Chain A
Amino acid sequence: MNNKQEDIFLEIYFSLVLLLVYLVGLTVLSIISGTGFLNVSLSSFILESKPLWTKFLAFVSIASGTALIYFMPGISISRLIFPKDSDVIIIFAKGFLINFFFFFTFSFIYKLMFGLIFSREIMLFLVVIFIFISFSILFIKRNSSISSCNIRIQIAKDKVFFFWYSLMILLIFFLFKEKIFYPGFFDETEGLKHFYAAYSLRNEILPTFYNEKFTLHAGFSFSPGIYINMFALNLFGIDGFVIRLQIVTAFIWMGIVLKYIIDLIMNKAKLVANYEYFPLLLYLFLYFIIISYRAGYDPPTDLAKSAETVLLAIFFTAFYILLKDDNRFMIAAILFSFASMVRFNAIPVTILMLVLFKFWKCLLLYCIFWVLAIIGLHILLIFIPGEFGFIDMLYFLKADMLSSQVHNQQFSFIFTLGYLRNYFIMTAGLSIFLILGIRNKYVRIFAITTVLYLLMPLKSIYLPAHYFAPIFFFPIIGFYLWKK
């Protein structure tokens, strides 16, 4: 084996270590709680007054399990089968897709062959199989070329940033542990729906949606998320926090992607000193407080309500891919289309961004995808009774942008002020730079996009934070652009 192959061998081996950590953690905690290996509830260890080391063990088990569901050992396979990739973000994105594809396919096959019941031991079995498949692929590809991107070295390059970022994430876990690990749900909205759908999926081929018709809005765009939730539900047990794990993972991913976008814009970090990442870290922290506590709903809602974090993560990944390599417009267009399905008011924002940055090929493909999606959904409509399709989609788009659901709400000067006030609180004064830095071409792009978005009247002055999702982080990108 050469150096690269040894590197990948270590990566896959690391997946095995993660699995071991997860198993040891679960076994020890199940012995302590006396519930048995398959029934131990990890969240109760974090929230209840238990010894500190058990909390740590539960946290580490959850972290290892999450890594196994999302990235490991998918990234190693990604490096083996896409030897040309040299970018960490792209390798991780592909790794995620490979992981999803594997678990999705094999759980599907398992259900078809051995019956519909899916549980923790079967999920563990699949993880083990996946790790062994990775070793086999490494063995098969031992003589062919492998991506030379060394993830450890890449991360070591930005060790100062990742150190502070990890501290911030740990702080978030500590401060918001009740929000993240709460075993139930604070209200009856999205979190519970996702939970119900994922729970039903354990024993069915397609998820049963919670007390609601199968709509494009609630169903289709979240389907991959539901499958991931189902895997996590099997791995971590029937517990409400599993649904929020996806949002927290998307949040962590989004921070990293934003960092790399800024590096790319600022000519590979040469123009950004380490201390200059603090606005980004503080802004991410601020974002998390907002989605946790100021979602704009009465009563305050579950963290799972802010599923648009997933949208932002996808949106910025697509944006990064386009900036990095214009030729990957096809992947970017798919990701943009998917992000727009999560929240329909992302459609005009995406189109605007693509026009202003002159990504014409991506724009064309994006529009084609939407047309295909509409046709596809109409074909599906023949087979699945329910209310979704083009008209339904337009209705949600209109409701998202023009407050059609609240008839007595008038667009007025006061309304606009209330709206702007909310936005400026959220962007923590960063919008100033969209004004100050207007001479810069790119800042102008972000400023125009933000202002046009703000001109769309929304439902009320108590805006849910997630309506801002499609433009939430534009000011921070604008801030770094202004410095260029």
Chain B
Amino acid sequence: MEKVRRTLIFCIVILMELLCIYYIYPKNELPKNDPMGRKLSRICLNSNNLFVAYKRAELLHSIVGLNVGILNIMFYADKDSDPAKEYILHFSPLPEGLARFYDLDNQCGSEVFIRNDINFNEYKDTVNELVEDYERADKTFAIGRGGYRP
């Protein structure tokens, strides 16, 4: 009797776990949507140069499959460059700086590593393209407030 009871309980556990995995496991392509159907609304791209950041954005695009656009990637060679007015630029004290970009409209941030030895002009066209792409993209994907929640 005890053995039957044990086997029964064992089967129930396995069944419930499988059901749970089935219920929770995302049905669509993996990172596209979470099980609650919410869209990824924020990207942060870290790279030590803009080209790599751009490549990673492409990669993200191919993985996620959303028309994310490329959010907030701007590149400035030095502090005196005139940033586009909707962006605020913070330089961190690191020698190879981590710059934070805030998009005030959407309260989003994004990050790009900056290397001081890169010539901005080399990437100027790419940056312009990126910005245009971003402007063309559906901006709703960029909306979302995350922030730190303990």
Q: How large is the interface on A (under 10, 10 to 19, 20 to 34, 35 or more residues)?
A: 35 or more
B9-34 CB contact bits vs A (8 Å, 1 = yes)?
11011101111110111100011001
Residues of chain B contacted by A482 (CB below 8 angstroms): 9
Does A199 belong to the interface (CB within 8 Å)?
yes
Closest to A343 in B: B150
Residues of chain B contacted by A399 (CB below 8 angstroms): 150
Contact A184 B60 (CB under 8 A): yes
Contact B44 A185 (CB under 8 A): yes
Does A324 belong to the interface (CB within 8 Å)?
no
Does A282 belong to the interface (CB within 8 Å)?
yes
Contact A189 B146 (CB under 8 A): yes
Contact B109 A294 (CB under 8 A): no
A198-242 CB contact bits vs B (8 Å, 1 = yes)?
011001000010011000010000000000000000000010100
Given contacts A186-B40, A276-B10, 16 further A-B contacts (CB under 8 A): A44-B59, A178-B63, A182-B63, A183-B56, A184-B43, A184-B44, A184-B56, A185-B44, A186-B42, A189-B146, A211-B100, A279-B14, A289-B25, A293-B26, A301-B146, A428-B20
Contact B59 A425 (CB under 8 A): no
Within the complex, which residue of B13, B35, B48, B149 is in contact with A294, where a contact is CB–CB below 8 Å? B35
Q: How large is the interface on B (under 10, 10 to 19, 20 to 34, 35 or more residues)?
A: 35 or more
Interface CB pairs A-B, < 8 A, 26: A44-B59, A47-B59, A178-B30, A179-B30, A184-B44, A185-B46, A186-B44, A187-B42, A188-B147, A189-B149, A196-B98, A208-B94, A238-B46, A282-B18, A283-B17, A286-B21, A294-B35, A298-B38, A299-B39, A399-B150, A425-B24, A429-B17, A430-B16, A433-B13, A479-B13, A483-B6
| Count of CB-CB pairs between chains A and B under 8 Å | 132
Chain A residues at the B interface, C-beta cutoff of 8 Å: 44, 47-48, 175-176, 178-179, 182-189, 192, 195-196, 199-200, 203, 208, 211-212, 217, 238, 240, 276, 278-279, 282-283, 285-286, 289-290, 293-294, 297-301, 396, 399-400, 405, 425, 428-430, 432-433, 436, 464, 479, 482-483
Contact A289 B24 (CB under 8 A): yes
Q: How far, in whole Å, are A294 and B119 apart by their CA atoms in the complex?
A: 42
Closest to A48 in B: B59
Chain B residues at the A interface, C-beta cutoff of 8 Å: 6, 9-10, 12-14, 16-21, 23-26, 30-31, 34-36, 38-46, 48, 56, 59-60, 63, 93-95, 98, 100, 109, 111, 113, 144, 146-150
